[in-house]
Amino acid sequence: MTTATIAFPAMTRRRGRHRRPSVAAKTAGRVITTALFAVIALLLAIGYGTIDNRWYKVVSIQGESMAPAMEAGDLAFFIRPDHVEVGDIAVFQVNGAIVTHRIIDIDSDGNYVTRGDANPSPDRWDPEDVEVVGVYLFHVPLLGHLFGSGSGAYLSDQATVPVSLVVAS
Is the per-residue pLDDT at 47 higher than 50?
Answer: yes
In angstroms, the CA 73 to CA 158 distance is: 13
| pLDDT tens column, 83-112 | 899 999 999 988 888 889 999 999 988 899
CB 144 within 8 A of CB 165: no
pLDDT at 149: 52
Instruction: Please report whether residue 35 resides in a domain.
Output: no
| pLDDT tens column, 52-72 | 777 788 888 888 889 998 998
Whole-structure pTM over 0.75, yes or no? no
DSSP string, 53-116: -SSEEEEEE-SSTTTTTS-TT-EEEEEPPS---TT-EEEEEETTEEEEEEEEEE-TT--EEEE-
CB 138 within 8 A of CB 74: no
pLDDT at 128: 86
Instruction: Please report whether residue 15 resides in a domain.
Output: no
Percent of the chain with pLDDT over 90: 29
Range of the domain at 97: 44-162
Q: For the chain, give the mean pLDDT.
A: 78
pLDDT at 6: 60
Instruction: Please report whether residue 20 resides in a domain.
Output: no
CB 79 within 8 A of CB 137: yes
Q: Indicate the number of domains in the chain.
A: 1
Burial classification of residue 100, based on how many CB atoms lie within 10 Å of its CB (0-12 exposed, 13-18 middle, 19 or more buried): buried
Instruction: Please report whether residue 36 resides in a domain.
Output: no
Q: Could you tell me the CATH number of the domain that includes residue 69?
A: 2.10.109.10
Taking residues 118-147, report their average pLDDT.
88
pLDDT at 55: 79
b/e for 2-11, b at 16 or more Cβ within 10 A?
A: eeeeeeeeee
Taking residues 148-158, report their average pLDDT.
38
Instruction: Please report whether residue 28 resides in a domain.
Output: no
Is the per-residue pLDDT at 167 higher than 50?
Answer: no
Which of 140, 5, 4 lies closest to 59, judged by CA? 140
pLDDT at 154: 32
Instruction: Please report whether residue 18 resides in a domain.
Output: no
Instruction: Please report whether residue 116 resides in a domain.
Output: yes
